Structure 1
Amino acid sequence: MSKKPIIVFEGIEGTGKSHHIKNVANYLKIKKIKFIQIREPGGSANSEKIRNLILDNKSTFNKETDLLLYLSARSENIEIIRKNSGKKIILIDRFTDSTIAYQHYGMGVNLKFIQSINNHILRNVKIDFTFLNTVNLTNMKERLRLRKKLNRYDKFDSKFYEKVQNGFLKILKKRPKKYIKINSNLDINLNENIILNKINDLI
């Protein structure tokens, strides 16, 4: 594996993935290791514009439009990833597996359609490792309740998030060597140590 890997943090809302990616970023800064950090949707200026459209509480896109907007945001980011691949560690807050988990397992969009466009956008870009953060629905709801502002994707019903999380777990089973499951119901400090130990192995 490359010593400048592409590392993705996945999970449904309230799993702490954004906290952990920030913690890893701070760790790399202290170690003076070069990296870039992006999020999906978001990252580049154009992708951030698309993010605002997707997550706006007033948006009422159908599931196919939602998918195509997410993939458009990814298309805007891919050159950033290609430009830095092999030169810097790349940390990504959500990526291709989120699209499959949410749009296919959650919303029922055709899997082959998603994979076809994903493959066209990514081409030779490959993820080296993924941290899948999981949470029970009780803790997820409590964490969302504490947020100051909720976006459109924070407001689905419990059955939707359950389908999405189960989708992530199905993806993990297909690639167990490139995935680690982080149980975010456990102590956050314990999980920080698990993640940073794995980061050290990867780099």
Structure 2
Amino acid sequence: MYKKFVIVFEGIEGSGKSYHINNVSKYLSKKKIPHIKLREPGGHRNSEKIRNLILNKNLKFNKNTDLLLYLASRSENIKYLKKYYKKKIILIDRFTDSTIAYQHFGMGVNLKILKMINNYLLGTFKVDFTFLNIVDEKNMRKRLNKRKKLNRYDKFKMQFYSKVQKGFIKISKNKKRYMIIDSNRPIDLNKKNIIEKIEKLIK
């Protein structure tokens, strides 16, 4: 038997979180371990429609509209997530920490309001473990330059991403359910460390 944990991958753009969540999903599939993988914003088909709106590079919303769009996307996802909660391993690419890091630390949205709505949406749904991927400016820029398509959140000033990453680190500080992944290190080393941690978590 294995533990049906909720495992989240967090980090700023170019930090490698999406690469690693996909690698973990492949590993679980190879082991024939039932799991679901979901991204935010997006995930559920209605959430994907909201994602297209949020990340449209031709649109610009104020910070409160941004927050409410992200939470609307999560609202569509949560019923789907609760369906599999404690029944399968759940892998999520970005979740509540991203909302706090980007909308509060990055954009200055009131933290109490943000937490209140999040708690209302999630109810008893809890994250068990988080891999926080960090990256320096040089590697982030290099990775973004390789992308064929850039969305609205790929085009902020470096100062914004720095605030967001510091926010992530502050959220995770002195908490056992976080593992910091230094994405400036060789990718194969991080892949190995993450899979080893996954194995320990689900046993």
Give the TM-score of the pair, scaled to structure 2.
Answer: 0.98
Give matches, 1:52-91, under 5 Å: 52-91=52-91
Q: Report the residue type matching 1:150 in the other structure.
A: L
Residue type matched to 2:181 in 1?
Answer: I
Q: Kindly provide the amino acid, as one letter, of the partner of residue 20 in structure 2.
A: H
**Counterpart of 2:150 in structure 1: which amino acid?**
L
User: Counterpart of 1:102?
Assistant: 102
Q: CA offsets per residue over residues 177-198 of structure 1, 9 Å max, x none?
A: 0000000000000000110001
Aligned to 2:116: 116
**What does residue 179 of structure 1 align with?**
178
For this pair of structures, how many residues does the alignment match? Answer: 201
Residue 80 of structure 1 and its aligned partner are, at CA, apart by 1.1
Q: What letter matches 2:14 in structure 1?
A: G
Unaligned ranges ≥5, structure 1: none
3-state DSSP class of the match of 1:119?
helix
In 2: Cα distance, 1:138 partner to 1:114 partner: 31
After TM superposition, the structure 1 = structure 2 runs for residues 152-171 of structure 1, keeping only pairs within 5 Å, are 152-171=152-171
CA deviations 1:33-90 (Å, max 9, x no partner) are 0000000001111000000000001111100000000000000000111000111000
- Ranges of 4+ aligned residues in structure 1 off by more than 3 Å: none
The offset of 1:161, in angstroms, is 0.2
Residue 92 (structure 2) aligns with: 92
TM-score, normalised relative to structure 1: 0.98
SS at match of 1:138: helix
The one-letter code of the counterpart of 1:78 is I
State the distance in 2 between where 1:12 and 1:185 align. 13
Matches within 5 A, 1:121-140: 121-140=121-140
Counterpart secondary structure, 1:177: coil
Offset, 1:27: 0.2
SS of the equivalent of 2:184 reads: coil
Give the root-mean-square deviation of aligned CA atoms: 0.8
Percent identical pairs in the alignment equals 64
Deviations 1:134-176 (A, max 9, x none): 00011101110111010000000000000000000000015x2
Secondary structure class of the residue paired with 1:180: strand
